[in-house]
Amino acid sequence: MAKRKTFEVDKFRNLINGMLAGSVCSAEERKSMLIILEHVLMETGNYNGYRYLGEDKVPEGHLPGINNKVFDENPNPTPEILFQGTDNTRVFYF
């Protein structure tokens, strides 16, 4: 019988989170990363949601996942304002 191979899901999650935050590749490439990570997290029972990354968590000059700075001006912004001109692949998985 073949020996089952395993790997640390948490370590994989941390690796992909770092790549989703710090990469300067295309959004399509990051989308592939998050699809794979979500699959692994769901299959292993480790999916605990995600949050969008603000401008301070992505490389300078790149779009954030959420416009969290709008809270400084408006404590109750609309979803349209929060996500206008953002990149939905800039996320962090818990």
Question: What's the pLDDT at 7?
Answer: 86
Q: What is the pLDDT of residues 8-39, one digit of tens each?
A: 999 999 999 999 999 999 999 999 999 999 99
Residue at 44 is within a domain: yes
Domain extent, residue 78, equals 9-93
Residue at 33 is within a domain: yes
Question: What's the pLDDT at 6?
Answer: 82
Burial 15-39 (b: 16+ CB within 10 A, else e): ebbeebbebeeeeeebeebbeebee
Q: Does the predicted model carry a pTM greater than 0.85?
A: yes
User: Of 55, 51, 63, nearest to 26 (Cα)?
Assistant: 63
Residue at 50 is within a domain: yes
Residue at 2 is within a domain: no
The total number of structural domains in the chain stands at 1
Position 54 pLDDT exceeds 90: yes
Question: What's the pLDDT at 65?
Answer: 98
Question: What's the pLDDT at 3?
Answer: 77
Residue at 1 is within a domain: no
Residue at 76 is within a domain: yes
Q: Are 90 and 53 in contact (CB under 8 A)?
A: yes
